[in-house]
Amino acid sequence: MLSLTQNHYAERKLENLVENRTIHTLRNAELNIFETHQTSNEVLLKFNNPVLASMIRGKKIMHLQDLPSFDFLPGESVILPPHELMCIDFPEATEQSPTQCLALTFAEEKIQKTVNMLNESCPKVDGKEWSLADYNFHFTNELAINQILQRLIFIFSENHPSKDIFADGLIQELIIRILQTESKSMHLKKSADNCTNDRISFVISFIRQHLTESITVEELSEKAYMSESSFYRAFKNEMGISPNEFIIQERLKLAERLLRNEKASVKEAYLASGFNSFSYFCRVFKKKKSVSPTEFRENLVKA
């Protein structure tokens, strides 16, 4: 999870108990740290630039246009277009346990430059182009996004003459990873809706329907009517992982669901999730969950 630095606490002034704001400004972005020390409802907030809001500590309830109200928790982010109004409740904030959140705004020029570079070097299929979401997009941070945000918190709050240079590369990477996260989310949603006019989404749907069978990249590329190399590159660009990694990820999700069913044994979960090697299944499961399938199952029984 994210945490604030000693530099932040040394420089910040606590002037308000609700959404006390500390601002750090660099050439292509502005970092706002908000801290709330008492319960409050219907606090309004708006930015003139695209903004990434990420929870650091505590809990908010977010009310945004076009999204059902949701609990906003550490490890989660939401990207909002310019001038989007946020209405926020703070049900648990106290002086001893304040709610903390960052809001990172991006210069439009930096976003466009990054998007243009991505469209040139990693173009999407079907004539689509990369662009930052023009709607409210709520997501769980991947490890890489958390690591970038933590590094940016440090860089923004330190007194270093080269911090603009340090931050620029990280901001570019962060924008790309957000774009890929949003792209992945859209493809997964389209695949669940059995979308047939989007090749990546169609392939995802095919993978999910045939998890227990042998699936090759060659077969998937034929389904997408693309060469194997072009399909592999496009899938990885738009999903952030390779087709083979996605297949393993989906098989692990299926195995975990089966293991949560008390009637299914570890062996049955392994066989039903499409893995063709038990030792490999155990190895990748432990890498993801930090426990073996047997230990995972035993922990569920104990709970």
228-239 vs 243-259: helix axis angle to the nearest 10? Answer: 60
Q: Are residues 96 and 170 in the same domain?
A: yes
- The alpha carbons of the chain give a radius of gyration, in whole angstroms, of 22
User: Is residue 146 in some structural domain?
Assistant: yes
Contact 106, 27 (CB under 8 A): no
Q: Are residues 108 and 152 in the same domain?
A: yes
User: Is residue 282 in some structural domain?
Assistant: yes
Q: What is the CATH number of the domain that holds 54?
A: 2.60.120.280
User: Is residue 1 in some structural domain?
Assistant: no
Q: Which amino acid makes up residue 123?
A: P
Q: Which domain holds residue 270?
A: 245-302
Q: Are residues 173 and 160 in the same domain?
A: yes
| Helix residue spans in 240-277 (DSSP H) | 243-259, 266-272
User: Is residue 172 in some structural domain?
Assistant: yes
Per-residue pLDDT of the chain (303 residues; tens, 9 = 90+): 899 999 999 989 999 999 999 999 999 999 999 999 999 999 999 999 999 999 999 999 999 988 999 999 999 999 999 999 999 999 999 999 999 999 999 999 999 999 999 999 988 987 889 998 889 999 999 999 999 999 999 999 999 999 999 999 999 999 999 999 999 999 999 898 877 788 999 999 999 999 989 999 999 999 999 999 999 999 999 998 999 999 999 999 999 999 988 777 888 888 899 998 999 999 999 998 899 998 988 887 766
Q: Are residues 216 and 150 in the same domain?
A: no
Q: Are residues 260 and 284 in the same domain?
A: yes
> Of 108, 5, 125, which is closest to residue 56 (Cα–Cα)?
5
Any residues with CB less than 8 A from the CB of 125 and at least 6 apart, and which? 199, 200, 224, 226, 234, 238
Q: Are residues 223 and 162 in the same domain?
A: no
Please state, as a whole number, how many other Cβ atoms lie within 10 Å of the Cβ of residue 117.
Answer: 14
Q: What is the CATH number of the domain that holds 257?
A: 1.10.10.60
Q: Are residues 196 and 234 in the same domain?
A: yes
Number of domains in the chain: 3
